[in-house]
Amino acid sequence: MHIVVPIKQVPDTARVKLDPVTGTMIRSEADAVMNPLDLYAVETALRLKEQYGGWITVLSMGPKSAARSIKEDLAMGCDEGILLSDKAFAGSDTWATSYTLSTVIRQSLSFDLIIAGERATDGDTGQVGPGIAAWLDIPVATYVSRILSFDGNRIEVARLTEDGYERLSVPLPSVLTVVKEIAVPRLPTLRGILKARSLEIAVRGKADYPFQDEYLGLQGSPTRVVKIETPLISRKGAVVTIKTEEDLSQAAEEFVRFLSQKGLI
C-alpha cells in the first residue's frame, strides 16, 4: 500500500508574536514547526504500514527549511520525502495549495491512500485534504477517529461527528483526514534519526510538473485576506444585588427572565 501524507509547517504557537500595528503574525522561518495535527496523520500511516506493509511518502509545500519537518517524519519511519519549493507557489490559499499538491500526486505517485491532518493550526481551514480529493476526484472521509478494518480494496473508518461517530466504508484510493483521537504519535528514535539523515529529500519546483501557471501561488488563489481583526469579546451580563430575603425570589425571577430572553431556557 502506498500512502501519501501531506504536511505543512506552521508558526510555533508558543512563540507567535503579533505585529501591534498591522495585527498580523510575525513569521520567521526559525520558529516554524511541523503542524502538530499532521503528526496524527503520520502516525496513522505508520500504523497501517506496520500492519499491512507499504510505503509512505511525505509531501510538503513550503520554503527549503520545511525539509526539517519532513526529516522528522522520516525519522519516525516514513520512507521518502518530497518538498515543493518554488517562488511560484508562494501565497497559495487552500484552493491553490490543494491544486498544486494534487497535481504532484496525480503525476508522479501511484497511491492508495492520502492521509492528512484534520487542519493546520495557522489557517485553521481544514480544506486542503478535501481539496486534494476534489481535484483528484476520489472519495474523502474527514475527521476520521479510528481505522476499523482494511481488506486491500476498501477501508472502514469511524468518523467523529458532532453527534457521535459514523462508520464509513471507503473504496481505495481515497483521502482521509484524521483527528487527534486516532493515535498518539510516536517519538522518533535515534536509529530513525540516523536513517533519516541518510535519506535525500527530493526538492521540486514549478518546472517539474505540468502545472497550469494561472492556478499557482498568489495569482491562482481566489482568497484575499482583506483585513485581520481581533474579535471584541464582550460579556453582556447583569448584576442583581440581593440584600434581603425578599430580594432573593425577585432575583431568581429576574435570572429566569434573563435566561429566557437570551433563548437559553
Partner 1 sequence: MAVHRSNSGKYSHSNTADPGAPVSTANGPSINRGPSASRAKPTEITPSILEELKAIVGPTHVWTDPEKMESYCHDETDAKSYGHMPDAVVFPRTTEEVCKIVKLANRYRVPLVPRGAGSGLSGGAIPHQGGIVVSLERMNKLLELDTANMVAVVEAGMVTNELARTVEEHGLFYAGYPMSLETCFIGGNIAENAGGGKAIKYGVTGRYILGIELVTPTGDAVWLGGKLSKDVTGYDLKSLVIGSEGTLGIVTKAIVKLIGLPTARADLLVLFKTPKEAIDTVPVILTRGIVPTSIEFMDRLSIQTSCRYLNETLPYEEAGALLLIEVDGTNAEQVETDMITVGELCETRGALQVYVAQDKNNMERIWNVRRNIAEAFKVYCPVQSLEDIVVPTSRIPDLIPELEALSKKYSIQIPCYGHAGDGNLHATLVKDPDMDMLTWKKVEDSCLRDLYAAVARLEGKISGEHGIGIKRKKYFQEIVNPVELELMRAIKRAWDPNNIMNPGKIMDL
Quick one: which H or E segment has residue 253? helix 245-261
CB of 96: closest distance to partner 1 in angstroms?
28
Residue 99: which of 135, 130, 126, 63 has the closest Cα?
135
User: Are the C-beta atoms of residues 220 and 92 closer than 8 Å to each other?
Assistant: yes
Judged by CB under 8 A, the residue of 2, 36, 63, 80 near partner 1 is: 36
Among 3, 4, 5, 34, binds partner 1 (CB under 8 A): 34
C-alpha cell at 184: 498518539
What whole-number distance in Å separates Cα of residue 77 and Cα of residue 170? 25
182 near 144, Cβ under 8 Å?
Answer: yes
Shorter beta-carbon distance to partner 1: residue 34 or 45: 34
How far does CA 51 lie from the centroid of its chain?
24
- # of chain residues touching partner 1 (CB under 8 A): 16
Q: 153-180: string of b/e by CB count within 10 Å (b at 16+)?
A: eebebbbbeeeeeeebebebbbbbbbbe
The region of 29-37, 97-105, 226-234, 240-248 touching partner 1 under the rule CB under 8 A is 29-37
* Least distance in angstroms from the C-beta of 38 to partner 1: 12
Mark 75-94 with x for binding to partner 1 (rule: CB under 8 A) and - for no binding: x-------------------
Supply 249's cell numbers. Answer: 425570589
| Residue number, 117 or 131, with CB nearest to partner 1 | 117
Q: Is 264 in the site for partner 1 (CB under 8 A)?
A: no
Rounded CA-CA distance 159/152 in Å is 20
Contact track, partner 1, 170-199, x by CB under 8 A: --------------x--xxxxxxxx-----
Q: Give the shortest CB-33-to-partner 1 separation in angstroms.
A: 6
Q: Which residues bind partner 1 (CB under 8 A)?
A: 12, 14, 33-34, 36, 72, 75, 184, 187-194
